Copies of this chain bind each other. A is one copy, B any other.
Amino acid sequence: MKNPSLQKKKHDAVTLKAIRESAAEIHSRIERKSKPELRYPIRGLANVRYDAKEGYFELGRAKAVRTMTVNTVKTFAQTLKMMALSKELIATNDFATKRDAYYQSKNWEEAKFDAQEESDTLMDDIEAMFSVHEVSREQLRFIPDEHGGAVAGSLVVYDTDLETGKVEKIDCTRFGSGAYSIPSLVEHLTFETKADFILCIETGGMFQRLQSHKYWQKANCILISMAGVPTRACRRFVRRLSDQCKLPVYAFVDCDPYGISNIYRTLKVGSGNAAHINQFICVPQASFLGVTPQDIVAYKLPTHPLKDVDIKRAKDALKNDPFFKIHKPWAQALEQLVKMGVRAEQQALAKWGLNYVIEEYLPRKLKDPARFLP
């Protein structure tokens, strides 16, 4: 197991170096009496590329240049102040959410932000700028406002205290019917496990069923409750856990265009408008256990008709989403779903008995993970 304190020091050193170099370049331009400028990768689906081997939506090379002029001077100053805030957070071993950063700016006199949208956008720009140096948002000590994601099963998490350096050992088999709630910042966590796989579950209800009946014990696995589209912290947690412990990740979500193209696709390859951080937080090793369109047929599941918005979402994905263009089995599965005109929730398995999912469905599926959708 890597030493998280050393790891953090190394990361901090990389981050500080990147901040100092950016600042030094601006400083030297000013000394040479030329206009200082900052280069940002352009964020958005149009500047994204997807290579199934790399495994995530990558930021393209298109860049925007912000040159300091009379019109941009305020934004320019704000960018530098935000970089200084990051440097200060590293020095004081602290962190800030987007909201925290916005309110901190109220002390920046003329450089203060008038609305949180402005400071949010600028923080995203800075994250994108530094992602080129392989520095993540978390290394800049900017953390999401929302945590989220619950964990139960065969896993020990080691958490090093930010202030004292003391290491806490958290045994995720020991939460009874409750669970371990993932913190906003997960970079400092390390793991120990003998589990065979990670099961990421869409709904709180299904997670509670599997957790209360200790399914993780029967199947020797780790259960993660995503509760809809997983938060950044949750995705980063799964990614780090899977990378460090070489564990496969299986997704178990509703069979509808939202579950497939939003929840699963975001977990696996990330999203278009946050492409600058996908390299850190997506989980390319994930595969799709179910519920698949074919499951609806094979298990005679109760269904709901697809709504217009579902059909539109599926058709958009088939037409524009690089993920579905590259993975043919996925394109076929989505097309099958649209043709069937129905969707099914993961809890629809309860038709065959409340614990059918534990006794029949999951064991059958897990006999052959090679057949999971990519």
Contacts and interface: CB of A to CB of B under 8 A. Distances in A.
Interface stretch (A9-17, A172-180, A241-249): A172-180
B302 A103 contact: yes
Contacts of A273: none
Contact of A354 (B94, B150, B205, B225): B94
Contacts of A351: 103-104, 106-107
Interface residues of A, number: 61
Which of A103, A174, A213 has the most chain B CB within a 10 Å cutoff?
A: A103
Interface in A135-157: 143-148, 150, 157
Contact of A100 (B143, B159, B350): B350
Interface in A182-237: 182-185, 188-189, 203-205, 207-209, 211-214, 225, 227
A153 B225 CA distance: 23
Interface in A10-49: none
Contacts of A146: 204-205, 227
B162 A177 contact: yes
A106 B94 CA distance: 53
Tell me the interface secondary structure of chain A in the complex.
Answer: mixed
B181 A159 contact: no
A282 to B, nearest CB: 21
A98 to B, nearest CB: 8
A178 B158 CA distance: 10
A348 interface: yes
A106 B349 CA distance: 11
A95 interface: yes
A110 interface: no
Q: Which of A168, A176, A203 has the most CB of B within 10 A?
A: A176
B176 A178 contact: no
Contacts of A121: none
A178 B188 CA distance: 11
A161 interface: yes
Interface of A: 94-97, 99-100, 103-104, 106-107, 143-148, 150, 157, 159-163, 168-170, 174-185, 188-189, 203-205, 207-209, 211-214, 225, 227, 302, 345, 347-351, 354-355
Shortest 10 CB-CB distances between A and B: which pairs?
A159-B176, A181-B181, A103-B350, A168-B176, A97-B205, A177-B183, A179-B181, A150-B181, A145-B205, A99-B347
6 contacts: A103-B347, A104-B354, A175-B180, A175-B181, A183-B208, A184-B204
